[in-house]
Each structure stands twice: as structure tokens, then as C-alpha cells.
Amino acid sequence: MAKRIVSPAQESVRTAFKMAVAFLTPLKGVIKKGFAEKARRKKSVASALALGHVLHSAIKITDGKPQVDPSEVMLSEGALAPIRVEQIVRSTDRIEVLHNWFPSDFSAGDDCLTLCAYQLDKGYAFVNQQIWHRQEGKIIVQLPKGFQDDGLHLYLMASDRSGSKYSRSQYLGYSTR
């Protein structure tokens, strides 16, 4: 059987796919919850929807090579109102996000907030352990010991109290100490 010759375009697409999968793998638990509603509605799988979004929107070509742009990645999708972030404060052992909340048809004071911190080089993501609500005006994630000096990509999302509906995730930026 002869070996097939792979064109540069095919190689580029394969590389983009591998990079997208590698980027999303540590985030699979968050993505499973964040895309669950959309996956049910579209009769699909949450990870496939997230991967499709990354391939469509978050892959950028830099110096002829595909790379994932973390600011374009979505960890959740839904109709809940986004969070209005006022300030991000990083200390040695935690990250605190302060926000404003105004009642609306698409948000409630008891909506649960999730702050996800993602260390890309180590391939590790973690979220807040304590449950925070919109009405509290803040959310805090404790940093594990091995990650206190690392740069982290931060994502914020809201869910209703039952965890069945989500907001579209927000990229808050790259946090360094």
C-alpha cells in the first residue's frame, strides 16, 4: 500500500485540530457543563461544540503556523446575562474578581459564578471551590501552591442555581503575579 502524500494545507488543518484538542482537554469538565444546554438543544456533544467553535473562531495563523488564541475560546454558551467585571485583583494565593450586578430578566441574584484559571504550559485548569453568587459582587479562586507564580488565563461564567443554564463565558485576560 502506497503512502499518501500530505499537502501543506492538509498538514496545517491537522495541526490546527491537534492544537485545538490539546487546548481544550484540561477544560473538559467545565466545557461539559457549560455547553450541556446547547448540546441537548442541538442533539450533539458538548466537547464537539466547543471544538467546533475553537476551530472556527480561535485558530489564528501566526508565521504560517496555526495557534489557539485563548481570548476567542468559549467554555460555556447560553442565554444568561454576562457578568459586568469591575476589577481583577491577584494576590499571592488567590485571584479575586469584583463585579456589579443589576437585576434583569436574564439574571438572578442566586446565579452561581465560576472562575476558571488555566495554566496553558502545564496543561492544568482549576475553578473556584466555594459557590459564589451574582448578588455577592465578587468571586474568589484559591491558587494551588504550584501555580502561585504562574501566568494564568482567566475565564468567567454564570449558571442558574440548578446549573442547567449558562451564560456565554468571558475571557478576562492573562493574569501574572
Does some domain include residue 1? no
Q: Is the pLDDT of residue 3 over 80?
A: no
All cell numbers assigned to 39: 448540546
- pLDDT reading at 170 higher than 70: yes
pLDDT(2) > 70: no
Residues 6 or more apart from 163 whose CB is under 8 A from it? Answer: 33, 112
> In terms of Cα–Cα distance, which of 105, 99, 58, 60 is closest to 81?
105
Give a yes or no: residue 38 inside a domain. yes
- 67, part of any domain: yes
What is d(CA 118, CA 116) in angstroms, rounded to the nearest whole number?
6
- What is the reported pTM? 0.90
- Domain span at residue 80? 8-175
Report if residue 2 sits inside a domain: no
> How many distinct structural domains can be found in the chain?
1
Domain containing residue 107: CATH number: 2.60.40.10
Alpha carbon distance 88, 57 (integer Å): 26
> What is the tens place of the pLDDT at every residue in 48-58?
999 999 999 99
Look at residue 3 and tell me if it is in a domain. no
In a domain, 162, yes or no: yes
Residue 87: predicted pLDDT: 93
Residue 177 binned pLDDT confidence (cut-offs 50, 70, 90)? confident
Tell me: the pLDDT tens digits for 87-124? 999 998 999 999 987 777 677 788 899 999 999 988 89
